[in-house]
Each structure stands twice: as structure tokens, then as C-alpha cells.
Structure 1
Amino acid sequence: MPVLPHAQHAAPRSPIRGPALPIGVAVTAIGVLLSIGSLPSASSDAVPMPEPVAVLQVPTVQVGATTAADPCADPTVQEAVADGDDVATIAGFGGGRAFRDAVVAGNAPCVSLTDPARLWVVVNKSLPLDPPEYEPSDLASVPLQMTTPSGRVRTEVAAAVGAMADAAVEAGVGRIGANNGYRSYGLQVSTYDSHVRAQGQQGADAGSARPGHSEHQTGLAIDVVACGSGCGGLDGFGGTAQSDWVAAHAWEYGFIVRYEQVGTPVTGYAPEPWHLRYVGVDLAAAYHDGGYHTLEEFFGLPAAPDYGH
């Protein structure tokens, strides 16, 4: 599948008036304008007002920011991308918010939202995994009580969910366990087929991803459950103290609640308060602070409530 053409989904930008000037030239030009002299007072009737002076358009520049037009031109970003270091790549853009803004504006040609190896990959009903049978290379055991045999996720996800569960216990909200982590393409085939047999095609598509369209296959998704003397099921997670705490604090550990009720028209999935998607601390903070409810909205992508076939 080709790299997603972000420019097609970019938010409209204000037109640029004239070429951007180097900082030194811009500052000099401003000084020239200011040195012309004070304009006559508007209250004086004796001196006619001069013709308006054109205002110099000076580009906004952030100290320490990468090249505004193309952060991917920065050598630090290029090295991070080549090394597969997603955290360093996002930092090279200037943080989670700047990374998101550059992607949405179409100013990040080195970023592919369809690369399944990246933290920022978007998998939905219109964006399947490429290749369909993708398997992450760095899987580790989930350090929580499991209720299914699917107890692996990517290494950094395992560390993050373990830290989150420990924090929940310290906060007094109870233990968190896990139901599902990584699921292979083959396992997703049987999982989806079981939903079709039980609920029909339409019901299955509202609650289970078709093979090749599942976030679980990336190793970046995990379904969590509430545990007491034992662990409950997925349907019993919503409304628990653990669920409320996760909704409020998961972002601090790099997770977002991927399928919220408000996002159903965009994702095409029924609410799943248990389904957490790891995007890393920087992007999760930008997602939370920006008040987003779907990755599609976050990255300026179109809604994907239905499959294309």
C-alpha cells in the first residue's frame, strides 16, 4: 500500500504572502520601517495623514524548532527515522503537538501513517495493515494477570501498561488485568469468524475488526479488565473504578482509549472502554490536551465507519 498522501487530508492553511525572509533580513527590514519616524498624530488637523505603509510579513519562527516547511529535512529527524526511533523522531519535530500539526498540514513527507512498525500507525476499516500478515518483531509478555492466552505486546507497551496498573493500585482504584494483547492475522481470522457466527456480519463489524484491519495485530493495542479476587470480562469493565481511572489517566502512560462512544460515527465501532491503544507519551499528551476522541480526527484523516467492500 502506498504511503498515505497526507496533503489530501490536510487542513487548509492561510496563504503565504511573499517568500519567507531569513531572520537577519526580517529584523533589518523591521528596523528600517521603524526608523522612518513617528507618524503624525491622528488628532492633528494641520498635518495630512501619509499614505499607508505596507506591513512586512515576517515568518513566525520558534527557537529550536525544525525547518517549518519540512521538519523531515532536519538531519536529526532523518537519523531518527532511519533508526526507527519514533520517540526521537517526534522530539525532532518539536514534540507531540508539533508532530501532529506537521502531519495534518502535509509537512511531514518522512512520516507514513500506514507503516505498521511506527507508534503513529493508523489502522481502521479503510486503512488495512500493509502487509496484511504483519507481525511485530519485539513482543514481550504482558506483566498483568491475563484472561486469555494472547498475553504479548510490544516491549515498550508491556512496560507502560505495567506502570499504569501499578499506579492504579497506588491510587486505590483496584487491580487491572488484561484480556488480549497481540493477535496474529490467523488468530484474527478465527476471532472475527466467531463474531460473525454469533452476531451476523453487521454485528461482527461493529465489535470486531476484519483480518488485516485489527490494531491488536500491531502489538500496540491491549484490552484491559478490572480485577478483584479474580478478573472480570470486557463487558464488565465500563463503569468500574478501574475504568474511570483509566479514562482519566491512561494518556499519562502513553495510551488512548481508542473507541469512545462519541467516536463511533468515525470509527464504526461500538464503544470499547477496555481497548487501549499505545501511541507513546508525547502523542498521547497531545491527543489528551487537544481534546481529541479518535486517531482519525487527531491526524486529520477522513472517517472510516465502513469497509470499502
Structure 2
Amino acid sequence: MSSRACDDPAPTPRATAPATFSPTETIAHHRRRLVVPRRHRVDPCFSDDEWTEITTAARACELTPGGFTSAAAIAFARAERRASRSDERRMLVALMDANADLHAIGGRLNSFARYVNSGGTPSPEPAARLLERVALAVAHVTSAVTALPPAGTKQSPCPTTPAADIGRYHRRRSPTARRNRTHPCFSDSEWADLTAAASACGLKPGGYAAAAALVAARSQNPRAAIADTRRQLEELMNSNRQLAAVGNNLTQLLPHLPVAGHLHDQTQRVLVLVRDALDAVDTTAAAMAGK
């Protein structure tokens, strides 16, 4: 199957936040999103039975069928360079848990910000406890992000199907129509890995992606099977969104807090933590995207 360019916008370089920053500058900084251009696309097709397997595994991994297919293809294409699945899964779970904690406390912060913006008067002690919990959740995300291995780290052998072995699972011509189609997209570095692995198997990229997705879907633990850097990168994007939302709520609070008061100072300190966490996410994501 052929590669087609996806209409993804080119990434906008993210400016470094100044040492001192206004609420407006903070909002602009926090609202930036990580963008990894994925310009290469294949269109693998699946029979009804295969589609059931793919969609079931994708739901278990909280992904779309296309996202699951692309993650599986890249995980297997990079099999010889992967860390152990247990290590990858552990790091991914840690990041997912940190994001879940931040999402939960971020919801409470959002409600508090709405209350204050509508004219409510914040009670100092509960507000201080809330901000403290937000700071802990942000620190949890930062710790999980910085624990991810940087690009260039030597990996231990992974007990998973090697890239070239996917050819053994290539499907022969089906007696029934494969009516279910998905459209996974790949970045330039991912595409290079995918085409190299497909070529080694004597397959087209689309056939390789389909075979890899089915192998992952049929494994005992689909999450572990696809827990490659791509899946971690997607969770980093989730971290970016969660941190951006928290930063936005904090900047909404600042105008309603006495400048000389403790809550104002505490909010500013948490904003610094959010900014530093966003920088850590960007640095790690940029390193992963280049793998």
C-alpha cells in the first residue's frame, strides 16, 4: 500500500519562557501543544473477525483502531532496539497514573477557578491545601516524565517478536472481503523504521502494519506489546494538555488574589512548577520524536 501525505500542520517552535513572566505570557506558554508531524499513511484492511480483535485490543489500550495499529507497527519495527516490555510498561503506567492524578486535581482546580471568577471569595486554608495538592500532582508528572529514557540510551534485548519475524504472520489472501479499514499515520523517523522492517520481511508497509497489529491484539497483554516510545510520546502529549489546563486555571486565579497575600505567592510558585514540567515534557518528547 502506498504512503500518502497527511494534512498535519508543521510544528511551531516553542519559545522558552522568560525567567519572570506575566499571567498573559504564562497562558500563551501553557497553551502551546506538542505537534509531531505524521505525514506518511497506509490503509490496512481487516476482515470482520480481525476487526473485532483489533477494536477490542484498541479499547483496552484506550486508543483508536488506527492509533493501535500504528503503535503496534512501530513497536515491532523497532523490536531490536526496544527496552524490555516490563520496563516499558512500568514507565508508561507511571506516566499514565501521574496524568490521571493531575486530571483529577485539575478538575477541582477548574471548579475553584470558576467559583472565584464568578465573584466567589476564596477561603485561604482550603485554597492553600488545594494548591499544595496541585503542586504535588505536577511534581508527580515531572518525576514520571524525567524517568523516561532519553534518546540514544542503550536498550536491553526485548523478548518480543523481532522486526523481521513479522513476515511469518503475514496474512494470505482472504476468502472473504476485508471491509474494515483504518488509516494509521507515521512521522518521518517512524516511517523509515517501518519501511525498513517491511522490506526485510518482503512486505509492503500496510501489510506489515496489519500483521503487527494482529500479533499485538492477539498477545496476552496488548498494552505491553505496544508500549514503545510512540505510546509514551502520546502520553507525553496528554501530560502537556493536562499541564496546560492547570496553568490556564492558575493564571485565571491570580487577578482575584491579593498581590501581597500568601495565596498569590503560592499560586505563582505552582505556576513555576507547571512551566518547568512543560519544559521537561517538551525536552523528553523532542528526544523521543527523534528516535
Q: Same fold (TM over 0.5)?
A: no
Greater RCO (CA < 8 Å, at least 6 residues apart): 2
Tell which structure's C-alpha radius of gyration is larger. 1
Q: Which has the higher strand share?
A: 1
What TM-score, normalized to structure 1?
Answer: 0.24
Q: Which has the higher helix share?
A: 2
What TM-score, normalized to structure 2?
Answer: 0.25
